[in-house]
Amino acid sequence: MNSRTPLPLVTYRAAARVLAPAARLVLRARVRAGKEDRSRLSERFGRTSLVRPTGELIWLHGASVGECLSVLPLVEDLLRDPGRSVLVTSGTVTSAKLMQERLPERAIHQFLPLDSPGAVERFLDHWKPKAGLFVDSDLWPNLISSARAKSVRLALINGRMSARSYAGWRRAPKSARHLLSCFDLCLAQDDLSAERFRLLGARDVSVTGNLKADAPPPPLDAAKSAKLQDAIGGRPVLLAASTHPGEDETILPAHDALRKQFHDLLTIVVPRHPARGPEIAMLCGKRQHARRTENQLPDVDTAVYIADTIGELPIFYSIAPFAFMGGSLVPHGGQNPLEAAKLRRAVIAGPHTENFAGVYETIFAAQGEGRVQGCAEIVALVSRWFADGELGRAKGVSAAQAVTALGGALGKTRTAIEALLGHAPS
């Protein structure tokens, strides 16, 4: 970092260098917790046994599953150039497994190196990317600054800046400006994020839309879906997807109220973090419940099915006629509703949806309803949709059509990237 680098970033770099030796202890603890892959720990230090492919290499980084899934169509588009390879990095075990399964030929996955000077230098010196594309807003100061110093062309793609993140960066304006100015261009999801990026110091900002709107629906495990459907039979199903702490305490009373009218109702609760399975089981109290991680299926007496697994939401969307989206009854900002809508599932959400504000507004406008404030409104809306199945299905079709109209980000993003690289899109 040069003399103009803000003091907080200089301090961060020095601290990262000093603390680097302790990282092994932290990573070993994460291995024991199932949060790291023991066989691939060397990647966290910028080391790999893989040989760099010849030719142009484009590097994309997404923090976790959602970001990585959103760029899969972009990876395939970029690989239309036969002389090109793509490197995808991420930070979670789940995303690594998913990328190993779904990345096309000439695309490689690696774990993101630790943001220490040594690990970053080894990573960049080995892979020598022509461009680095950072998805959403997962920004690592040493990685970005070092890539810029090595003349890697940098772009922030599918950029999103929440109110919380914006407020945090506003407290360190010089650091924000220095870091964001490392990017040659910034492709934002929406106008509000674009304006926040501009105010924080990003260059060449434009709005390209949300890549997740262009991503295809995830593949469905038809056998698992059929097995679950056989166990449920014709019972009405209320799905609460990706719930956060504090929301199950609203969903479960809504279930109780709905059961007075729909006596065989089954509520499926999918916690955002599967480790909350035991907590939700405790909240169920006397309600008969079953847990998916214990290889249980719901039977005729099961009132609540706790789906505390990873990567199975498409199965539950295939079973339920509509979905309540978690993270919206508490001030988290709402989980991504695009997957549900693409599968023609109507969307219900609470008041806190600022993480995907434009998407929710578009879906709710198409549905004509879907926003709820609490238990009573959930019960009223779900009762109507259960009572008139055609109405619920029509709302799902409207949601799917709304999402289709939000598409177009993929083409705009690729055009901008090819221009950044000095190419015309093929």
Predicted local distance difference test score (pLDDT) of residue 137: 81
pLDDT of 186 above 90: yes
User: Taking the alpha carbons of 67, 73, 74, 76 in that order, is the dihedral positive or negative?
Assistant: positive
Q: What are the phi and psi torsion angles at 64 (to 5°)?
A: -150, -155
Whether residues 93 and 104 share a domain: the answer is yes
On whether both 24 and 119 belong to a single domain, the answer is yes
Residue 359 is part of a domain; what is its CATH number?
3.40.50.2000
Provide the residue type at 289 as one letter: H
Say what the pLDDT of residue 158 is: 95
Give the whole-angstrom CA distance, residue 38 versus residue 35: 9
C-beta atoms surrounding 230 within 10 Å? 9
The residue-averaged pLDDT of 67-92 equals: 94
Sequence-ordered alpha helix ranges (H) in 213-312: 222-232, 248-259, 277-284
Reported confidence tier of residue 330, pLDDT bands at 50, 70, 90? very high
CA torsion sign, 329 to 335 to 337 to 343? negative
- What is the per-residue pLDDT for 252? 98
Q: Are residues 245 and 205 in the same domain?
A: no
H helix or E strand, kind and range, residue 409: helix 409-421
pLDDT of residue 219: 83
Query: Among residues 94, 91, 135, which one has the least CA distance to residue 110?
Result: 91
Query: What average pLDDT does the structure give for the chain?
Result: 94
Say whether both 307 and 246 belong to one domain. yes
Residues 300, 289 share a domain: yes
CB 175 within 8 A of CB 6: yes
| Residue 264 and residue 204 share a domain | no
116: left (phi over 0), alpha (psi -120 to 50) or beta: beta
Radius of gyration of the chain (CA): 23
Establish if 426 belongs to a structural domain. Answer: no
Alpha-carbon distance 261 to 175, whole Å?
56
153 vs 65, higher pLDDT: 153
One domain for residues 306 and 182: no
Residue 94 lies inside a defined structural domain of this protein: yes
Mean pLDDT computed over 390-407? 95
Same-domain pairing of 240 and 336: yes
pTM of this prediction?
0.85
Does the structure show a pLDDT above 60 at 426?
Answer: no
Give the pLDDT band of residue 425 (cuts 50, 70, 90): low
Structural domain includes residue 1: no
Does residue 206 sit in the same domain as residue 270? no
Report, as an integer, the average pLDDT of 380-387. 97
SS3 of 34-84: the string is CCCCHHHHHHHHCCCCCCCCCCEEEEEECCCHHHHHHHHHHHHHHCCCCCE
How many domains does the chain divide into?
2
Could you tell me the CATH number of the domain that includes residue 99? 3.40.50.11720
- Determine the pLDDT at residue 182: 96
Whether residues 200 and 258 fall in one domain? no
pLDDT of residue 174: 95
Per-residue confidence (pLDDT) for residue 414, from 0 to 100? 95
Asked if the structure places residue 108 within a domain, the reply is yes
**Catalytic residue ranges:** 67
- Residue 3 clears pLDDT 60, i.e. is over it: no
CA-to-CA distance for 371 and 282, rounded, in angstroms? 28
Classify residue 2: in a domain, yes or no.
no
Task: Give the residue from 316, 293, 340, 324 showing the smallest Cα distance to 231.
Answer: 316
Over the stretch 270-325, which tens digit does the pLDDT of each residue have? Answer: 999 999 999 999 999 999 999 999 999 999 999 999 999 988 999 999 999 999 99
pLDDT tier at 424 (50, 70, 90 boundaries)? low
Is residue 46 predicted with pLDDT exceeding 70? yes
pLDDT score of 1: 52
pLDDT tens per residue, range 125-173? 999 999 999 998 889 999 999 999 999 999 999 999 988 899 999 999 9
In the block, which residue shows the tokens 């490689």? 108
| Cβ(190)–Cβ(159) below 8 Å | no
Task: Kindly state whether residue 16 falls inside one of the protein's structural domains.
Answer: yes
Task: Give mean pLDDT, residues 384-402.
Answer: 96
pLDDT in tens, 221-270: 999 999 999 999 999 999 999 999 999 999 999 999 999 999 999 999 99
Q: Answer yes or no: is 66 within a domain.
A: yes
* Strands of 266-271's sheet in order across: 289-291, 304-306, 266-271, 237-243, 322-325, 346-349
Distance CA 42, CA 19 (A): 17
Statement to judge: residues 75 and 205 lie in one domain: yes
Is residue 84 located within the same domain as residue 195? yes
Q: Where are the alpha helices (DSSP H) in 130-247?
A: 141-149, 163-170, 173-180, 191-200, 222-232
Q: Is the pLDDT reported for residue 58 higher than 80?
A: yes
Between CA 248 and CA 283 the distance in angstroms is 8
Per-residue confidence (pLDDT) for residue 336, from 0 to 100: 93
- Is there a domain that residue 324 lies in? yes
Domain of 64, in residue numbers: 7-214+408-421
